[in-house]
Each structure stands twice: as structure tokens, then as C-alpha cells.
Structure 1
Amino acid sequence: MTQNQVKIAELNAENWYECCFLEVADDQMSHIEPNAVSIAQSKFEPSLKPYAIFLEDKTVGFLMFNSMEEELDGYWIYRIMIDKNYQQKGIGKIATQLMIDEMKTLLNPKVIVVGYHPENKGAHQLYESLGFVDKGDRFGKEMAVVLEI
């Protein structure tokens, strides 16, 4: 998998519907909201920025971040998911780095934060590999890790 094969694009009239049918693996369903819920949330919270993830021209994932600072004085990644049929190929890591780059361009953040369930080992490995650090912050059932820019 090369970075040139993976792209992200803002959600729009042409790509939102495909994102609604993407699914995570059965053992991941308790870790993330369905994409349709996230897309609806973004329509009522305009600071949320939803994006589709593409492998070449195929929609394979969804991500969303907040364009306003929140807890921990950071900009939060709200969602990152790769369809179960495309997981374990490096797409998630490339897409997350593309999202971080997009956030840097649009928001000029000092801190990027993401929360996830502690038992989600895949998320832990992904964020740790990108430089996120667990400083012990917890929000309900989720842990929050921080990337200082």
C-alpha cells in the first residue's frame, strides 16, 4: 500500500451515501458509531468535518474531526474507520496521517487529541505509531491520547 493510493476528500453529495454502508468488523462495532450517525451529527454540529477515505477510486473508510478546540486545548479526531474488507492493509494509518496533515493546514493546531476505548488494541497501536501519547486523560469509558504539533 502506498500513500499515493489513499486519498481523503470532504464528504459531499457524491460520496456520503457510500460511507453509510461501510462497516467495521463485528468485534469493533461497540467501539464506534455507524457512519450514518456521524454524518447526521456533522449536519447539526457545523464544526465537525466529515471526510471519505478512498483507495484509488473506491470508498473504503470515513473520518471526522472537529474544527474547534475542545478539551485538553486540542482539536479532536471524532471518527476514523476503515471498512472491514479493507482493514490490515495500512490504509488507516495513511488516512490518519492525511487527516493530521489536513488539520495542520486548516486549523494550525498545537494539539490533536483522539479518544478511544482502552480495549481497542488496533486504535492504540495506530495512534501510538503516529506519535500520540497517553498522558492519563480519561473521558467516561474512553481514554484520550495527545499529539503535540
Structure 2
Amino acid sequence: MSLHIREVTKANWRAVANLTVADEQQSYIESTAFCLAEAMYDTQWKSVGLYDGDILVGYAMYGINIDVRPEIEVWLDRFMIDRNFQRKGYAKRFIPLLLETIQKEYVTDTIFLSIIPANNLAQQLYESFGFALTGEYDEFGEAILKWIAPIQTKLNI
């Protein structure tokens, strides 16, 4: 099947809202219902469903984060694979697709995200794609990571 990203709309928001992570991951990310509400009222965020063919397997939220620092920065603010589809390689397959999508949509070669410091698996996953800790923390105590596009994937701006 083919992996693709679909914007959250009136047609799929309920299915997206029902996505959830494993019990031991609950403290690492907000519920998708909360994320959808946040994106509805903080319009700098875009909510998307992550699909394998017609099957919804995950969720992401990205956009220009105006809350952390005064600089204009593009963030992959939320990323999750539903508990029923974890350990099947989806995270490793969707991150490059999300990076490419965000890079093109915002015409940027730099993307930020943040993680709960205790979430070692997420940190290892993101670092495997070139994200690096900045040494900074957001207002919630989450560690900030930064990705800069490798030379061969930089946009021709």
C-alpha cells in the first residue's frame, strides 16, 4: 500500500480523534482529540492523518510555532502512530514523508520538535533522521531538537 498524508477534515476528524498510543506512552503526547482542538483554535497548526492506503495509522501536527521563541520556526509539533499499528515500521517510514512535506509547504530547510526528556525511544528515532538536541527546553520542560536538511534534500529556493 502507499503511505500518504491527508489533512484532517469534517470527513475524517472522528477517526483521527480516536487514535491513541500505548498506555506507557500516554504521558509523552497529548491526546489526538486535544491536538485537534488546539489546531482548531491555534490556526498556526495543521493537523494531518497518516494513512497506509485507506487505513488511518497515525497523526501529526505541524506548523509555525509562535509560542516558544520570537523567531519564526517551523515545527513538527506532534507525531504519533496508533497503538494498533506500532512496531510495524510506520514511524520510520512516515518521518521522511513528513519532513519532505513540511519542507516543501513552508519552504524551509530547518524543522524543530520537542520531546519529553525521558522518552529515549523517540529521541533515538528522531536522531536517526538527523535531528539533534539543541540544549534548549520549551516552556513545558521538553527538550528541543533541530533538523537541518542534508545537502542533497535542500530545496532549490
Instruction: Compute the TM-score of the two structures, normalised by the length of structure 2.
Output: 0.86
Unaligned residue ranges in structure 2 (runs of 5+): 150-157
Q: Residue 50 in 1 paired to residue 47 in 2?
A: yes
* Identity percentage of aligned residues: 29
How large is the RMSD of aligned CA atoms in angstroms? 1.6
Deviation at 1:85, TM superposition (A): 1.1
Residues 1-149 of structure 1: pairs in structure 2 closer than 5 A: 5-67=2-64, 71=69, 73-139=72-138, 140-149=140-149
The residue that corresponds to 2:155 in the other structure is none
AA aligned to 1:41 is E
AA aligned to 2:82 is D
- Is the Cα–Cα contact under 8 Å of residues 21 and 83 in structure 2 kept in the other structure? yes
Counterpart of 1:144 in 2: which secondary structure? strand
Deviation at 1:16, TM superposition (A): 1.2
AA aligned to 2:76 is I
Structure of greater relative contact order (alpha carbons < 8 Å, 6+ residues apart)? 1
What is the number of equivalent residue pairs in this alignment?
146
Counterpart of 2:145 in 1: which secondary structure? strand
Structure 1 runs (4+) greater than 6 angstroms displaced: none
Counterpart Cα distance in 2 of 1:59 and 1:6: 10
Counterpart Cα distance in 1 of 2:95 and 2:86: 13
Deviation at 1:98, TM superposition (A): 1.2
Deviation at 1:73, TM superposition (A): 4.9
- Is the Cα–Cα contact under 8 Å of residues 73 and 111 in structure 1 kept in the other structure? no
Counterpart Cα distance in 2 of 1:11 and 1:120: 27
From the superposition, tell whether residues 107 and 78 of structure 1 become closer, same or farther in structure 2 (CA, over 3 Å): same
Deviation at 1:93, TM superposition (A): 2.0
AA aligned to 2:146 is V
**What are the Cα deviations for residues 56-90 of structure 1, in whole angstroms up to 9, with x where unaligned?**
21111110001356636521111101011111111
**What are the Cα deviations for residues 9-46 of structure 1, in whole angstroms up to 9, with x where unaligned?**
11112211101111100000011111011101111111
Counterpart Cα distance in 2 of 1:30 and 1:78: 15
